[in-house]
Amino acid sequence: MEIVKKRNLCFDCLGNHRISECRSKNTCRTCKRKHHTSLCHESSSQNSQSQNITSNTENGTPIMHTSAKQENFTVFLKTAIAPIWLHNQCADAHILFDEGAQRSFITKEIADKLNVKPDRQETLNISAFGYSDKNVRHMNKATVYLEADSGEKIPLQVLIVPTIAAPIQINRRYISQQLHYFKKLKLAHPLSEDNSFEIFVTHWSRPLLGCHQG
């Protein structure tokens, strides 16, 4: 609400105009009044009590969303597309910024494209989500370079793994209809005609590319 007031945005569609000039026919999903659902006081109080994180599978493709009162709200992961370098080799990669992780990873596919030669190994104790059993894995480790928008090449120490995650589905219809204001932003992960994308690199530290979209 503070941001909307400060930027003089529309209380209904969050566009750059007054609500009296808004042509949107949408109403609040919670109280059905003429304002955006995210600005509703009733929605805030209800979500704080009933919201929970779930995962859903549609057509075999994982989708992450939050669920509250049987309504699905899409959550965008913090992803980007950026060049990964090693010497004179370069490959564009889909990157997931995972601030809860303790290591950075790269898939063997990208490592092979860059002709990565591991220079050491690291031993990890790995347990699957929801399980207490631990498996010992010996993983190859190497250093690659992430190119930021400024052209700076940032070194990343990565562990090489066969795969990071199943392909992530892109809800382009939701983005075009509900998040139309994204069209004016430069996204770290630009939209494309693809219905899904595969994560090739995960990076555990704070975002480096100024991501606007997860």
CATH code assigned at 196: 2.40.70
Domain check: are 11 and 111 in the same one?
no
pTM: 0.56
Domain check: are 124 and 169 in the same one?
yes
Tell me, yes or no, whether 213 lies in a domain: no
Q: What is the pLDDT of residue 172?
A: 64
Tell me, yes or no, whether 141 lies in a domain: yes
Tell me, yes or no, whether 93 lies in a domain: yes
Domain check: are 34 and 119 in the same one?
no
Q: How high is the mean pLDDT in each 10-residue block of the chain (214 residues)?
A: 81 80 80 79 50 40 38 69 93 87 91 94 82 85 92 93 84 65 72 76 61 40
Q: What is the pLDDT of residue 143?
A: 95
Domain check: are 148 and 84 in the same one?
yes
Tell me, yes or no, whether 143 lies in a domain: yes
Q: What is the pLDDT of residue 181?
A: 67
Domain check: are 31 and 97 in the same one?
no
**Cβ contacts of 197 within 8 Å, gap of 6 or more:** 79, 94, 167, 168, 170
Residues of the domain holding 32: 1-49
Tell me, yes or no, whether 69 lies in a domain: no
β-bridge mates for residue 156, sequence order: 144
Under DSSP, the state recorded for 49 is H
Q: How far is CA 5 from CA 34, 36, 39, 51, 163, in A?
A: 16, 13, 11, 26, 45
Count of domains in the chain? 2
Tell me, yes or no, whether 12 lies in a domain: yes
